Copies of this chain bind each other. A is one copy, B any other.
């Protein structure tokens, strides 16, 4: 029901903005590249006769009116920002599949009862400004607007200042109470290997696993790498290294569905012949079962403390971000499943390993997601890739689920 060639053209054109040497994309949230991506989308939206607006926290909304202006919109969406060395499809696919649905509704002259919208959420990745999923989080009431405006990025920029600079402090309320959705659908690449491995063409996402993110600061004693005997050292990096290995072991021993990652580790004072006096690192623990994840939390805290005590260094652990395992709305999940079946696509139920804007939106409105396979399960990598047929199938399922829901 959709124009697969047009969708692929949009994907490839968007990928030119912030294109990297290695075939990926770099459009960190609230940078000039992020803005250029939105400007391109805005052209397509306006050419399709849709109105475009921005909310107070910088999320962009593209609207195709429905028959009844009093009904809340059925919304599709995702994000256009990327990781520092990101791929061409993470987030982008969901936004452009939504844009393609709007254009296909136009092409077919389909009127819907509800307005149909595409949301481009502000800063989903959480790479430059952390945590992730900020735009959807503010809209859903998870974060306060001011709290987010005051966030400072890895490069020292204040989020609110970047919004002003880009003209993204829009007039729409970033608040689900004054701007509710009838339903929310997010199409996304799987970002993992399961669908490809099992030959499934569509992932019917039943929910997202829980996540706990931490910041860990280890303090030892700076000293000279030469004349300081090994047994007198309090080396913050040696302790930090053991924590990294232990976090990995918690993941490895936590069963097939466990994930545990250290993505950032900074050493101070960062000199070749100085025993590191301080290490900062981030930890990301995940599991679909909240009780299991709570067990990881205890094990991580206890073993980190014990490792640091044994190394003669002190440690501070703070939980930086957390969301529990999130089920999606069964009736919408069933609509996605049925749409895939209707087209004869091989589908399977799947739990999302990543957080998505859908996770926050799901707290305040019925929500579902559609996954498509990605090559070798690789994402958050410049080599991230998908096949045009899979993009087409995912977009078709999205179209069908939205059409039915929008009445």
Contacts and interface: CB of A to CB of B under 8 A. Distances in A.
A96 to B, nearest CB: 20
A186 interface: no
A213 interface: yes
A160 to B, nearest CB: 21
Contact of A270 (B240, B242, B263): B263
A267 interface: yes
A83 B225 CA distance: 12
A306 to B, nearest CB: 15
Contact of A271 (B260, B263, B274): B263
B83 A274 contact: yes
> Secondary structure of the A side of the interface?
loop
A211 B260 CA distance: 37
Interface in A259-301: 259-277, 282, 284, 286
B229 A193 contact: yes
Q: State the copy count for this chain.
A: 2
Contacts of A352: 226-227
Contacts of A276: 262-263
Interface stretch (A144-152, A170-178, A245-253, A336-344): A245-253
Interface in A343-369: 352-355
B381 A223 contact: yes
Contacts of A277: 85, 381
B380 A213 contact: no
A126 interface: yes
Contacts of A225: 259, 261, 263, 284, 286, 380
Interface stretch (A4-12, A105-113, A230-238, A393-401): A230-238
23 contacts: A84-B269, A85-B222, A85-B274, A192-B224, A192-B228, A192-B229, A213-B272, A224-B353, A224-B380, A226-B286, A226-B353, A226-B355, A227-B354, A229-B259, A230-B251, A237-B265, A242-B245, A261-B275, A263-B267, A265-B265, A272-B284, A273-B380, A275-B380
A312 B191 CA distance: 20
Interface of A: 83-85, 125-127, 130, 132, 154, 190-194, 209, 211, 213, 221-232, 235, 237-238, 240-242, 244-245, 248, 251-252, 254, 256, 258-277, 282, 284, 286, 352-355, 377-382
Contacts of A272: 126-127, 130, 213, 263-264, 282, 284
A136 B248 CA distance: 45
Given A84-B271, A127-B271, A380-B273, A230 B244 contact: no
A21 B143 CA distance: 36
Contacts of A254: 230
In order of increasing CB-CB distance, the 4 nearest A-B pairs are A227-B353, A192-B227, A241-B244, A225-B261
A193 B269 CA distance: 21
Contacts of A284: 225-226, 272-273
A228 B276 CA distance: 31
Contacts of A229: 192-193, 256, 259
Contacts of A354: 224, 226-227, 273
Given A223-B380, A269-B85, A271-B263, A248 B228 contact: no
Nearest to A194: B227
